[in-house]
Amino acid sequence: MAEDLRRLGAIVVSQEARGVYRLKINGVLWTSVEWSPKRGMWCIEDARGMCLMHVEGILGEDADADNAIRRAKQMIRDGSMRTPEEVEAQLLEREQLGEPIPPADLAKEKVATGQVGNQAQELGEPIETEISLRR
């Protein structure tokens, strides 16, 4: 399989709300990083909102969002983060097979398709910034 050259593009990080970051390439959502109060750690999600991993060892919500964002960017670059098209194809396949879609996917799908307003839309356009990450 050929490497997806989009993975080499600029990854733009926008903060939509406290503890919610979206990572996009050319305006297309690839991944999200969200704080999970229940788990007390950051969750890295695919383009459809499926949690892929939790970043452990971070103490407190504001302790190090940069670390979770850095890991999400690494996953895009190294290919361990599925492309938005791969995520979409997997969801379509699950639907065609009649497999249940987890509730989190349904909720995120409604937000993504505009069936339900989300906080960022209600507050206005999210600020697009490239967050500088310490190395």
Nearest CA among 22, 3, 27, 21 for reference residue 77 = 3
CA distances from 67 to 8, 70, 94 (A): 20, 5, 32
Torsions phi, psi of 74, nearest 5? -60, -40
pTM score, whole prediction: 0.67
Nearest CA among 129, 118, 104, 119 for reference residue 24 = 129
pLDDT (tens digit per residue) in 88-128: 898 888 888 887 766 554 444 444 444 333 333 333 333 33
Domain ranges of the chain: 9-116
Determine the average pLDDT of the residues in 2-21: 92
pLDDT band at 135 (very low <50, low <70, confident <90, very high): very low
